[in-house]
Amino acid sequence: MYLRDLITLTSSSFLTYRMRSFLTGLGIAIGIAAVILLTSIGEGLHQFMLSEFSQFGTNIISVQPGKTQTQGGNVGIFGSVRQVTLEDADALRRLPYVEHVIPGLVGNAEVRYEGRTRRTMVLGEGRDFGKAFTMKVQNGGFWTDADDEQARAQVVIGAKIQQELFAGQNPLGQYLRIGGQRYRVVGVMESKGQILGMDMDDTVFIPAARAMELFNRSGLMEINVSYRADVPAETMIRLIKERMIERHGREDFTIISQEQALEVLSSVLNILTFAVGALGGISLLVGAVGILTIMTMAVTERTAEIGLLRALGAREQQVLALFLGEAIMLSALGGVLGLGIGIGMAQGLHLLFPALPVHTPWLYAVLAELSAVSIGLAAGVAPAMRAARLDPVEALHAE
Amino acid sequence: MIELQNVCRTFIVGDQEVAALRNIDLSFGAGEYISIMGPSGSGKSTMLNMLGLLDRPSSGTYLLDGGNVTDLDDEQLARVRREKIGFVFQSFHLVPRLTAAQNVELPMILAGIPADERKQRVQVLMRNYGLSDRADHKPDQLSGGQRQRVAIARATVMNPSVLLADEPTGNLDRNTGWEVLKLLEGLLEQGITLVVVTHDAEIGARAQRRIHMLDGRIVSDESIQNDSK
């Protein structure tokens, strides 16, 4: 028997029992639609979170003072461990594969310009900040002084600071007062908006050495090391750890790799997406029961026909194939319908609520359709086997 | 070409053994016209199922075209049914979802014959049986006689050597019944062996060889050389 004939024969029963077949297929369609909709939202959230986290760039490893055994905040800021210093940053800069090293610390200070005052976040950074992180300078540029004690009092300001303090004036070359000290404005950042709740536009960037002085600190809060993209994070972590232990004598620092943090986040989000998809899978199960019911009925109704087929020379296998084919076709068509509904609803939601990120990965769509087909197969096996094993004589005389 | 040797068939009904066929010895040659008659329960239907390889003997041997078909497995049996045996039933047994042409095509689909060849053979048969203008009708749009003609076309489309007809006129009025019988008898000229099971003596009398059954036994087996009709 040719596959095309099998399809013609099985589809003839759909055309006869249109309503019944449609409703049975709908059971599967609702299940598939639920799975697709929920995983689309889950995957959308996933991608949204990842892109939020990786906005700064991904090939960055951070060294922080103090050794932590867990992922919690470190005690280096308040503890008595050895500080991480600008000299440490210089030492890391000489490691292989390193592209940029940015010493960093953060604090709050009052920023004043011609009588206007704003309390804002002050980031002490290195001169390569703009190159290591994916943040662009809109106007001017970062200072070029080396990251050491001699760095002059220069400042790059966020877009919001420019707006609030300079109100449209060109700030380049002007002098700001940050915590009472005079800083010359050398650059304005491009507006970046909020990243994980931090307003990156309401920020000023000054050389790390000046920030240490401003906040009266003798150490850095972190050193960010960006490295070549083709070098694995493990290699880079090992190199940095060796160099730091060499300098400090013991491991009194913590290394956080963005790649590893992303992996953890990603796996958590994957589990979430999977769990949500599994919930939708329950409705698929209900659809499978529908197929089982309809196929059992079909075998009973068509018993005489099965007898006839056997009399005409159909093998048990062919009868099996006909009924299995029908179950699979029901669920496959239901699956396609469900994909349409699911993707349509996901996109519709996105249109209604643009803030809600949705994304339907092709793999999920294919997997959903495959699972619809295998559900049809599983639900169809028992009735189809019963059909195949009917005694031809008894089947023929059933009315 | 058909030979039954000491064939028995027993059924278990409840805790009782019921013998439907008892020690049947019978042989037909090619091109014979045989009627099997008897009251209901005489075993004539079981006999037909046995001849059609739908049922297996409990004991005894069945030889078809010289080959022993008693112990074939499902696949081999299906093949023999497909290639050598045609069935015509009292209640036509057409698939209601398929058109007349598709019903005739069905055995060839099961046999895996290519579509072009199927189309051709169906067309020829439909024309021969005067069904050309009914090819695309569903069975419920056909008269009883047309339905049985479709069923006969289906039974002969694989060119079987034996045609088994189980009360072929039972659901038809008298005139239509005669037409259908004539059609079946016309197949004898092509060398087919025609076995008609009936309880209608008038129909049974048309066959050259008349077998009467009672309680699972052959009680008479007479051959008439001169066709009276």
Query: Which of A227, A251, A275 is where one domain is finished?
Result: A251
pLDDT of residue A94: 92
Q: Are A311 and B87 an interchain contact pair (Cβ–Cβ within 8 Å)?
A: yes
* Nearest residue of chain B to residue A389 (CA atoms): B74
What pLDDT does A222 receive?
A: 92
* Residue whose C-alpha is closest to residue A230's, from A92, A125, A372, A99: A99
Say yes or no: A197 and A271 in one domain: no
pLDDT tens for each residue of A82-139: 889 999 999 999 999 999 999 999 999 999 998 889 999 999 999 888 888 878 888 8
Question: Does A241 share its domain with A268?
Answer: no
Residues A229 and A110 in one domain: yes
The domain of A97 spans: 82-251
Does residue A268 share a domain with residue A238? no
Which of the four pLDDT bands, split at 50, 70 and 90, describes residue B25?
A: very high
Q: Is residue A257 part of a domain?
A: no
Give B98's contacts in chain A (Cβ within 8 Å). 9, 12
With tokens 């048969």, the residue in question is B125
Name the band, by pLDDT with cuts 50, 70 and 90, for residue B184.
very high
Contact B110 A309 (CB under 8 A): yes
| Residue A163 falls inside a structural domain | yes
Reply yes or no on whether the pLDDT at B47 is more than 70. yes
Confirm whether B13 is domain-assigned.
yes
The verdict on A87 and A208 lying in the same domain is yes
| A289 and A245, same domain (yes or no) | no
Interfacial A residues in 196-235 facing B (CB < 8 Å): none
Q: Give B75-94 pLDDT, tens digit per residue.
A: 999 999 999 999 999 999 99
Are residues A386 and A311 both part of a single domain? yes
* Residues A313, B79: C-beta atoms closer than 8 Å: yes
For residue B99, is it within any domain?
yes
The tokens for A345 are 């609803």
Q: Is residue B229 part of a domain?
A: no
Pair A54, A258: CB distance under 8 Å: yes
- Under a CB-based contact definition with an 8 Å cutoff, are residues A223 and A101 in contact? yes
Rounded-to-integer distance, Cα B114 and Cα A1, Å: 9
Domain count, chain B: 1
Strands (E), chain A: 60-65, 98-113, 116-125, 137-140, 154-157, 175-178, 181-189, 194-195, 198-199, 203-207, 222-227, 253-257
Are residues A134 and A196 located together in one domain of the fold?
yes
The CATH number of the domain holding residue B31 is: 3.40.50.300
Interface test with B, best of A302, A310, A312 (most B CBs within 10 A): A312
When divided into structural domains, chain A yields a total of: 2
Optimal mutation site among B54, B88, B91, interface A, most CBs of chain A within 10 A: B54
A321 and A369 fall within a common domain: yes
When pLDDT is averaged across residues A6-23 and rounded to a whole number, the result is 88
> Is the residue at B113 inside a domain?
yes
Same domain, A276 and A228: no
* Domain coverage including residue B64: 2-223
pLDDT at B228 over 50: no
Give A218-261 pLDDT, tens digit per residue: 899 999 999 988 888 889 999 999 999 999 888 888 888 877 77
Residues A109 and A242 in one domain: yes
pLDDT of residue B229: 45
Dump pLDDT digits (tens) for A174-187: 999 998 899 999 99
Among candidate residues A202, A227, A251, the one where a domain is terminated: A251
- A233 and A93 share one domain: yes
Identify the pLDDT of residue A68.
61
Which tens digit of pLDDT belongs to each residue from A296-315? 999 999 999 999 999 999 99
- pLDDT > 70 in chain A, percent: 94
A278 residue type, one letter: A
User: Which amino acid appears at position B29 of this protein?
Assistant: G
When scoring B93, B140, B157 by the number of chain A Cβ atoms within 10 A, the one with the most, hence best to mutate, is: B93
Q: A69 pLDDT exceeds 60?
A: no
A358 in any annotated domain: yes
pLDDT bucket at A281, cuts 50 / 70 / 90: confident
Q: What is the DSSP string of A129-147?
A: HHHHSS--EEEE----S-S
